[in-house]
A and B are shown apart, each in its own frame.
Chain A
């Protein structure tokens, strides 16, 4: 069975890029367009790994991590944060919130897949 990725990003472009890259690497990708959408899809998708953007309307990436780690979902699934910034304080904040790792935008396929494999083992 293909490993499942839940990709949450409000940018259609990034969602498409993730889909193409990840499907090419043998993942099954479900996209969500903001935090609320992503968290609500989580139970049905039961992903092996979550990739989430930080800056999003309705619910941001920190909200997503919070909802998955605590709240109703309460899961320790690996969560990768997609960031444009490589600012250390942002990474620290994401880690504190419960993120497993991060991918810095713009990402290339190779590093995306390697990071994904590193945290999910998929």
Chain B
């Protein structure tokens, strides 16, 4: 979660503990939730609650409520992040879960593991073609089940200052080799300037880069998890950044801070590997450089490829305890696949929609990127090559380990491969402790 939230706040830890309690109770009560298949068709008017953090969702829901007096949806804005996920798990344990919950893709597996969200495969059978395979995989977790509908997505690209790249005489890098060369060249020209930055605070960012390289951090077969955080693809990514950090040619300061904003404002940082929601961040944090940025695809590992990864994005899931699953599924299908609804999502909630048709219907570029007329068609092209991976049930533990290990490695300028290995070990240890079967 970006935006400078305290990632490991006491609150998060505490609610995390509650979540762990909820997880611990899973095995004992797994039989309660099998009613989903037999939920009868709703007849009378039903009321649904929807926990979300997307802005203006109440206005979007108003449109639905007007057209569907029999299914009335009420919005409750809970904020996002780990805390709201933990709150949902706590509420689910107490039997107070809302009918519908917005879930970040990386949190969804922990909801599934706690049996807090329902498999809605039979209720949304027609929805699959509306989404790219990469996004659909994020709500199936690579299984036969469907645990929600993709709502918004964050395919990653390279955001760069057009004017400054010109000033330092570097072209937009097409491969990571070119990226490294550019990083060295710019920093050699001016020691106070960096071509790009590496963040040890944003596990989701590193996960996205690993997805681009083809990493598969988690997979599940039956009830056994396999953890591959230090697989060959991810090791390649870690080594690449480790080399740049060791030579001191990429910036390693904390993101989302005032200093970081100032580095962009003052032209000390020329590019940002980010996701398609970056215009929102830049326009709010670095308003003075409006119109000077452009978006390119991420540099590739092999010339000629066009892969990307996902950073951020969320699905909407139906809670296992909801008494109105088919009504909720009807609403979610409308919200995330109906052209009119997706249009509202884009305009009112200001998200980059998950639905493929919605992505290609965008035309006017964000105001901050008004100089790049093809912004949205470029984004759609990036999006079509974005691949995700199955997230595990303890993504937070992995991200925390990432923060620790890579933070230390940056300090000591030591091997990123070793740091990655310790993330792998910490993640397996955490899953084992939480009672998951992990293949060795």
Physical interaction between A and B = no
